[in-house]
Amino acid sequence: MKKLAAWILLFPLGGIYAAGRPVQLADYYRVETAGTPAISPDGRWVVFVRNITVEAENQHHSELWISPADGSTPAVRLTTPAFSASAPKWSPDGKLLAFRSVRRASSGGETEGRGAEPAGRGGRGGRGGAGGEGDTWFLRMDRAGGEAFQIPGVGGAPIFSPDNRWIAFLKRTPPPRTAREATPLERQLDQRFKGRIYDWMNVRADGRGFLPDPRDPAATPPNELYIVARDGGTARQLTHLGVDAREPAWRPDSAALALVADSHERDEYSYERADLWTVDLDGQIHRLTDDGFEYDSPAWSPDGKWLAFRRRQSLSQIIATKQKHGAAVDLYRLPAAGGPMTNLTAEWDLIPDAPSFNPDGKFIYFAAAEGGDTQMHRMNSAGGAVEQLTHGPRNLGGFTFSQAFDRMAFTTSNPAHPAEAFAARPDGSGEKRLSALNEALLNEVDVAGAERIHFPSKDGTPVEGWIMLPRGAKPPYALVLAIHGGPHGAYGSAWDYEFQWLAANGYAVLYTNPRGSTGYGEKFLWATWGGWGKLDYEDVMAGVDYAVAHYPINTKRLAVTGYSYGGFMTNWVITQTDRFAAAMTGAGISNWLSDYGTADIPRTKESEFFGSPWESESNQLMRSLSPITYAANVKTPTLFVHGEADMRVPIEEDEQMYTALQKRHVPAKFVRYPGNYHGGWPPWDMVHRYYQEVKWFGEFLQ
């Protein structure tokens, strides 16, 4: 209780700020977040990314800021505001800070680094070093000021060796190839042809568009592993796998690295099943696993004798056996030279994030979501009980540790406060807040807090949720039921501008974690397998019943909304009940049969619907769980919002539902956003969408 009380003083839960004006649309552009904290090896400094939105440019911008880890002085800007900067990473001796930034190779000008004075946007960029390449830059942290520079030969995000002698990185590496000279006719035809030709299966990916041939290393060059001397030089290629190497991690003696790679990557009919490998500095590679499972996040024990990592069944295995649940993700330990592995979390029912050993190798630390909160945990490196170290109704993330493991840095968010940077001891004590990015805004506006609720579903299953009551509105309140994406995701104790915007406009907001959500154990997580819209529908409706029974809610003024899986659920809800006076669907599936062949992830249907549309049993299941099948039941006026370039849930999905409602004379409106994928919408479009949502609800919830 003392820890929680101390944390509340550092980071108010809501209602502690002075009452102010309601949240406005323009405030969307003023919200800032801290991300990707990196603590210095000696634990004295924390660099974090300050994320802002530049309204005039319709884009997001990021800068690196630095703070003493004890919070003794305010954080200051570290990089020029002329270019975005992200992904900070310290060298083991603390003398260099690497970061990612797309900038001119040589521009001279503004001082960067520790000791640089804060300034507004518009400064000039740093100067590139001769032979530098790509978007990886460095700052000297052992002296004040200075300009960002590049190290010759570093061609990707750097991974410093523990002895400070080497920098490893991953780089796209096409194979040698001699192109055939095209004939004049072929050149003319190519110049005039504006379409696409393909004969491979995986032709699209959301956020990337249409893809080159994944089977051909020349068309899709693999990420191979390289090393270069710390001071720069000619890089040396260590791996020649022909497929992507990922997540390289140095052995503590700096003589080898662990990595993961999927040797079946070029096989379009095999879903991910990456294995563990090690490679020494002479390029001798050793494969540690080959059992069809998926591996990730390798971490070395301090003595270099063990590897800890995450392991799960591959999706191909699940599909082949028509398994009625997904794969459990567990932490394992394996001798680095090879041998039998041990499941460390077999008796723990949640999903661990990437592991880290402490310096004496006694403990393994990892983050994990428990219910709606994400916290730091640890366990004995030989196995045993899992211990939660941090506490409080909040979401923590981005953990990094000092070399001595005496301090850690992380970000924290709650429903009334966007993410800020913090530091603490690894046991969660001695917590210090390092940033105050939103104090001016939060002291100006009237933010709504969220009350955590627990309620039984129809079959008695306990469900968690939150309700946010409007500030300044008179009861009984109109209520908006919000449904998260996934389904294997979760809401939590985190800031959400959309919910604050709805509350500012007089709406109570109910958001829940129905079955299918993460953070509540395997049985709960896979309860929607083969039944999207069944038990999860009962859960969200039980949440509505609970809210109506315990809060002053006007049952004539109910609305429902969601995006992605939440959009599917919104489409499903309005076909199953007429309790809602309005709905807004964002990128929602309406027809599983058509979605199978047009979306970039047929895997969802092959696994959770047990097959493909041409298989009789799967076909019937997809039809029975498609909202379009029950469109004749819809009476709820519905707004549809969708990105025209969405390849995760193609826009034709909402078009089908919209057409059905229009044909049946149910009020419906469609707002299309050209060029937008499933996620990552530009700021202007997000603000437009939020405005349309409130306008629609205002029309039908009077």
Given a cut of 60, whether residue 13 has pLDDT beyond it is: no
Whole-angstrom distance, CA of residue 646 vs CA of residue 599? 9
pLDDT given at position 145: 76
- Domain assignment present for residue 536? The answer is yes
Last residue of a domain, one of 221, 251, 283: 221
Considering the domain architecture, whether residues 72 and 179 belong to the same structural domain is answered as: no
Q: What is the pLDDT of residues 67-113, one digit of tens each?
A: 999 999 999 999 999 999 999 999 999 999 999 999 875 444 456 77
CA proximity to 160, closest of 149, 168, 171: 168
Task: Work out the pLDDT band at 128, boundaries 50, 70, 90.
Answer: very low
> Residue 59: which residues within 8 A CB-CB, separation 6 or more?
53, 682, 683
pLDDT given at position 7: 44
Percent of the chain with pLDDT over 70: 93
Q: What is the pLDDT of residues 505-537, one digit of tens each?
A: 999 999 999 999 999 999 999 999 999 999 999
pLDDT given at position 516: 98
pLDDT given at position 61: 97
pLDDT given at position 1: 39
pLDDT given at position 471: 84
Please provide the DSSP assignment of 61-105 as one string.
EEEEEEEETT--S--EE-S-TTS--EEEEE-TTSSEEEEE----S
**Omega before 418 within 30 of 0, i.e. cis:** no
- Domain assignment present for residue 29? The answer is yes
Considering the domain architecture, whether residues 62 and 36 belong to the same structural domain is answered as: yes
Q: Does residue 269 contact residue 200 with C-beta atoms inside 8 Å?
A: no
- Domain assignment present for residue 400? The answer is yes
- Angle CA(381)–CA(386)–CA(388) in degrees, nearest 5? 120
Whole-angstrom distance, CA of residue 543 vs CA of residue 548? 9
State the average pLDDT for the chain: 93
Q: Does residue 306 contact residue 364 with C-beta atoms inside 8 Å?
A: no
Considering the domain architecture, whether residues 544 and 612 belong to the same structural domain is answered as: yes
> What is the number of residues in the chain?
702
Residue 135 vs residue 129, higher pLDDT: 135
Q: What is the pLDDT of residues 295-335, one digit of tens each?
A: 999 999 999 999 999 999 999 999 999 999 999 999 999 99
Specify the CATH number for the domain of residue 520.
Answer: 3.40.50.1820
Pick left, alpha or beta for residue 303 (phi over 0 → left; psi -120 to 50 → alpha; otherwise beta).
alpha
Whole-angstrom distance, CA of residue 264 vs CA of residue 284? 20
Q: What is the pLDDT of residues 183-224, one digit of tens each?
A: 999 999 999 999 999 999 999 999 999 999 999 999 999 999
- Angle CA(574)–CA(576)–CA(582) in degrees, nearest 5? 20
Angle between helices 535-550 and 565-576 (to 10 degrees): 70
pLDDT given at position 146: 82
Q: What is the pLDDT of residues 601-656, one digit of tens each?
A: 999 999 999 999 999 999 999 999 999 999 999 999 999 999 999 999 999 999 99
pLDDT given at position 123: 33
Which tokens hold the place of 172? 């796209």
Considering the domain architecture, whether residues 497 and 615 belong to the same structural domain is answered as: yes
Considering the domain architecture, whether residues 558 and 695 belong to the same structural domain is answered as: yes
Instruction: Report DSSP state, residue 387.
Output: E
Which tokens hold the place of 70? 């004890």
Q: Does residue 587 contact residue 654 with C-beta atoms inside 8 Å?
A: yes
Considering the domain architecture, whether residues 539 and 662 belong to the same structural domain is answered as: yes
CA-only gyration radius of the chain, Å: 26
Q: Does residue 535 contact residue 580 with C-beta atoms inside 8 Å?
A: no
- Domain assignment present for residue 296? The answer is no
Whole-angstrom distance, CA of residue 453 vs CA of residue 341? 41
- Domain assignment present for residue 514? The answer is yes
Last residue of a domain, one of 430, 461, 484: 430
Average pLDDT value for residue range 661-674? 98
Task: Work out the pLDDT band at 359, boundaries 50, 70, 90.
Answer: very high
Given a cut of 60, whether residue 2 has pLDDT beyond it is: no
Q: Does residue 641 contact residue 690 with C-beta atoms inside 8 Å?
A: no
Domain range enclosing 42? 1-150+390-430
Given a cut of 70, whether residue 120 has pLDDT beyond it is: no
CA proximity to 407, closest of 428, 436, 421, 381: 428
Whole-angstrom distance, CA of residue 260 vs CA of residue 289? 10
Average pLDDT value for residue range 674-693? 97
Q: Quote the longest CA-to-CA distance of the chain.
A: 79
How many structural domains is the chain composed of? 3
Considering the domain architecture, whether residues 501 and 421 belong to the same structural domain is answered as: no
Q: Does residue 292 contact residue 315 with C-beta atoms inside 8 Å?
A: no
- Domain assignment present for residue 340? The answer is no
pLDDT given at position 116: 52
Q: What is the pLDDT of residues 256-299, one digit of tens each?
A: 999 999 999 999 999 999 999 999 999 999 999 999 999 999 99
Query: How many CB atoms neighbour CB 213 within 10 A?
Result: 16
pLDDT given at position 659: 98
Average pLDDT value for residue range 493-498? 96
User: Which residues face 159 on adjacent strands?
Assistant: 168
Whole-angstrom distance, CA of residue 609 vs CA of residue 284? 43
Considering the domain architecture, whether residues 410 and 487 belong to the same structural domain is answered as: no
Last residue of a domain, one of 430, 456, 481: 430
Task: Work out the pLDDT band at 133, boundaries 50, 70, 90.
Answer: confident
Percent of the chain with pLDDT over 90: 91
Considering the domain architecture, whether residues 112 and 205 belong to the same structural domain is answered as: no
- Domain assignment present for residue 251? The answer is no
Secondary structure of 265-333 in the HEC alphabet?
Answer: CCCCCCCCCCEEEEEECCCCEEECCCCCEEEEEEEECCCCCEEEEEEEECHHHHHHCCCCCCCCCEEEE
Q: Does residue 293 contact residue 312 with C-beta atoms inside 8 Å?
A: yes
Considering the domain architecture, whether residues 523 and 417 belong to the same structural domain is answered as: no
> Residue 551: which residues within 8 A CB-CB, separation 6 or more?
467, 469, 477, 508
Whole-angstrom distance, CA of residue 432 vs CA of residue 421? 9
Alpha-carbon distance values, 685 to 54, 461, 627 (Å): 13, 38, 27
> Residue 629: which residues within 8 A CB-CB, separation 6 or more?
575, 623
pLDDT given at position 118: 42
Strands 363-370 and 342-343: unpaired
Which range has the worst mean pLDDT, 173-177, 236-240, 612-616? Answer: 173-177
End-to-end CA distance of the chain: 43
> Residue 49: which residues within 8 A CB-CB, separation 6 or more?
34, 35, 36, 62, 63, 64, 65, 85, 86, 87, 88
- Domain assignment present for residue 323? The answer is no
Considering the domain architecture, whether residues 527 and 598 belong to the same structural domain is answered as: yes
Considering the domain architecture, whether residues 514 and 657 belong to the same structural domain is answered as: yes
Whole-angstrom distance, CA of residue 526 vs CA of residue 487? 10
Q: Does residue 495 contact residue 418 with C-beta atoms inside 8 Å?
A: yes
Q: Which residue has the tokens 């662990």?
A: 258
Task: Work out the pLDDT band at 17, boundaries 50, 70, 90.
Answer: very low
* Dihedral over Cα of 661, 662, 667, 673: its sign: positive
> Residue 493: which residues within 8 A CB-CB, separation 6 or more?
372, 373, 393, 394, 395, 413, 414, 415, 450, 452, 466
Task: Work out the pLDDT band at 130, boundaries 50, 70, 90.
Answer: very low
Given a cut of 60, whether residue 121 has pLDDT beyond it is: no
